[in-house]
A = this chain, B = another copy of it.
Amino acid sequence: MIMSTKKFLLEEKDIPTAWYNIAADMKNKPRPILNPATKQPISEEDLYPLFAKSLAHQELNQSDPWIEIPEEVRDLYKIWRPTPLVRAYGLEKALDTPAHIYFKNESVSPVGSHKLNSAIAQAYFCKKEGVTNITTETGAGQWGAALSYAAKAFGLELAVYMVKISYHQKPYRRSIMQTFGAQVIASPSMSTKAGRKILTDNPNYQGSLGTAISEAVELALQTPNCKYTLGSVLSHVMLHQTVIGLEAEKQMEMAGEYPDVVIGCFGGGSNFSGISFPFLRHKILEGKEIRVVAAEPSSCPKLTRGHFQYDFGDEAGYTPLIPMYTLGHSFSPAHIHAGGLRYHGAGSIVSQLRTDGYVEAVDIKQLDTFEAAILFSQTEGIIPAPESSHAIAAAIQEAKMAKLEGKQRTILFNLSGHGLIDMTAYDQYLEGDLTNYDLTDQELSKSLDELEQIIK
């Protein structure tokens, strides 16, 4: 039953004035990103052709714990931030648990997800440095939609390479991007050398995120005043997302509680890092007892079953080498509905925190995520994105454990987005047409073996 609820609301003045850069506080720093040819650490200057200088600086900054949020970015955050923290009474009652469950509601952003927190920051720094055009890739379209909004806010021209199969099968987010004025190109396309080569070899190829990255990077490099942007994995993206956790900290204080466990779903790490890093700060600096849990799909379980080693960020092997928990960059996850979690690796910071024991991970089966999503919809009244449903399922597991143990436990999870544009997935679930797609040991060994042979 949907119940009356308790929202903890901040005022505009409470929007954080600085992002939290966890790398500055980590005892074991994230290992450097390497140039694949020389195996030497990448420098800031090496990143300039692709990224705005400020973003390149943020990417490698391991010394300043606080990075000031420019006033122009804060002003745009005010359109929807601060976002509510909600006590999930309806869900608690349905679970009959002694646990207190809170969620940070990032679904209230104008594009429906947390992705806008970094999109606005990236567009701002590009604009400030005189960039006129930006490119990116998108799969299901959450990141592309957010960047289209941000590009329109700063008057930048945006080209989005959208994986061809999604371009045709998920027209809603494509239309949202176009409504905001972005150019959306089905990838592979004839607009780049990489795309033309693939189309020549295989005219019917339906695209992949790896190909779309290659196209977006190529276009950025060949266009004057143009930079490339991306929505997860890299450290500057995690940095921008920390507004989520910084607000949540203040709101938990308003609620008079401190979380025992903080949960985020996990694809490349952007919303997970956003909700958890500000809380982890107190664990790192003060030894505060708090658990942090990444909820990933059992079809793409890099943190629970992958290896921690250098790997490429993209399928084609064009990017620098990143130290990551990975399933291998050639790993092709099953077509689960949580498109945003179908990525083979974790960003370098989360990977280091994971190996150092600061981050736990659980893998969730697809059917369990939809069961959790239906329960959440029918008790909290918000239909969650399939990605966010992984965090909900993990929170429910924690609440059930609390009941078994007969102990109170304070649970905080991030509701990274709503699922109003993902109703096809719900339809299939309600019709009984979905399955679990768990990764088998055999598939995992094969993918990791390939990785070993490629990366020496």
Contacts and interface: CB of A to CB of B under 8 A. Distances in A.
A108 interface: yes
A4 interface: yes
Contacts of A7: 12, 78-79
Contacts of A5: 78-79
A324 interface: no
A426 B145 CA distance: 15
Interface stretch (A175-183, A254-262, A402-410): A175-183
A243 to B, nearest CB: 16
Contact of A377 (B72, B79, B112, B179): B179
Contact of A426 (B12, B175, B377): B175
A110 interface: yes
Contacts of A62: none
A304 B194 CA distance: 57
Contacts of A112: 420
Given A175-B424, A420-B112, A2 B153 contact: yes
Contacts of A381: 79, 110, 149, 152-153, 180
Interface residues of A, number: 44
The A contact surface, by secondary structure, is helix
Interface string A141-173: 000000001001111000000000000000111
Nearest to A154: B1
Interface string A11-22: 010000000000
Output the residue of A1, A2, A5, A110 with the most chain B CB within 10 A.
A2
A4 B75 contact: yes
Output the residue of A149, A378, A381 with the most chain B CB within 10 A.
A381
A316 interface: no
A79 B179 contact: no
Given A79-B4, A420-B420, A110 B175 contact: no
A46 interface: no
Contacts of A75: 4
